[in-house]
Amino acid sequence: MAQDFYPFVENDNAATGRSDVVQHPARIAVYDDAAAAPRVVVVEPKEVRPYLEEITLQVTQLSQAQGGTIPFMVIREIVENFIHAFFMEPTISILDGGNTIRFSDQGPGIAEKERALQYGTTSATEEMRRYIRGVGSGLPYVQQYMLDKGGSLRIEDNISGGTVVTLSTRPAQVETHAPAPNWSQPYTQPYQQPYQQQAPSWPQQQPYPSWQQPQPQQWQQPQQYQGWPQQQQAWGQPSAPTWPATPVPQQQDAPILQGPVPGWPSISQRGRMALDYLAAHDSVGPSDLTRVHGGSQPTWSRELQALEEQGLIRKDGQKRRLTGMGQALLRGGGQ
């Protein structure tokens, strides 16, 4: 080829008749036993297309030999993404009996991980499209396939730069190491009783003394007493006592999402977690909820979409914000 293919390959056409040779080997770590060091298979540098094909074939064979079920086509889509990392230190780990495969590199990384999972979003250059499709279909296709099979795809930053993509046949909830939130407080108890029963019964707890009891007729027709104090003064009697004002209970703000209110939408547990986050932040995105509560970004994307369809949040760029209806619900059911 006439041009060098970026710094991660070298044009060796004059010496060997080959061109665009990758500089870095790929390492595949097979964890036969979680308590032992892995077996390591090295794929030596070669031309770009044979290099990608050999990595894909080796990973597929080694994972399926362990009992894994992730297919060749899915693995190939992730392996081809090493081209975006300029093939900088590609490493593949095969875990969980072949049912979890982790692809890592030390390339430039993915800043907008949520957008990378949308069809048509790509950073492929014309040079890269000589070896891959480059139309932004790889990660979205793999994510949809894994979700359809009950599994998960997760994108994370590598320790010293680069990206880690994890495929697993297990759901994302099993993969996360974040502690499960405790919904016994403040949500469980309020949902066990109707909201109306939580109002304080202050009139019964603060009875009037018998001599202070106002008469209904007197309160309905206060004009009948006009001038009466002056008549009592003329008789030398003390003026009529002033009736005490009816005590007004101090209504306290209802806790966030305290109990269902008739007419309000039904919210899932994850939906309440998203609204709880918005009670303390201006906006939220799937990556924020994944970082705080664990799980996968696709799962949180669906929860946010459901809240948006219920009219509780609205999309503002790549984030969601509370609508007026959502703010009223957080203040206590619109009371």
CATH number at residue 135: 3.30.565.60
Task: State in Å, rounded, how far the first CA of the chain is from the last one.
Answer: 71
pLDDT score at 310: 86
Kindly state whether residue 238 falls inside one of the protein's structural domains. Answer: no
Separation of alpha carbons 124 and 126, rounded Å = 7
Domain count, the chain: 2
Do 50 and 142 lie in one domain? The reply is: yes
Residue 296 sits in a domain whose CATH number is 1.10.10.10
pLDDT (0 to 100) of residue 99: 95
Among 179, 161, 116, 130, which Cα is nearest to 20's? 130
pLDDT at site 199: 52
Tell me, what's the pLDDT at 123?
Answer: 73
Is there a domain that residue 286 lies in? yes
Same domain, residue pair 264 and 150: no
Residue ranges in the chain whose pLDDT is less than 70: 1-19, 124, 134, 136, 173-265, 333-335
Residue 74, pLDDT score: 93
Report residue 2 CA to chain centroid gap.
46
Among 123, 138, 172, which residue terminates a domain? 172
The DSSP line for 298-329 is: HHHHHHHHHHHHTTSEEEETTEEEE-HHHHHH
Instruction: Report H helices in the chain.
Output: 13-16, 48-65, 72-80, 113-116, 138-148, 172-175, 189-192, 202-205, 216-220, 228-234, 269-278, 286-293, 297-309, 324-330
- CB count in 10 Å sphere of residue 292: 17
Supply the range of the domain harboring residue 312.
256-330
Q: Are 32 and 145 contained in the same domain?
A: yes
Tokens representing residue 199 in the block: 């109002």
Residues in a beta bridge with 314: 321
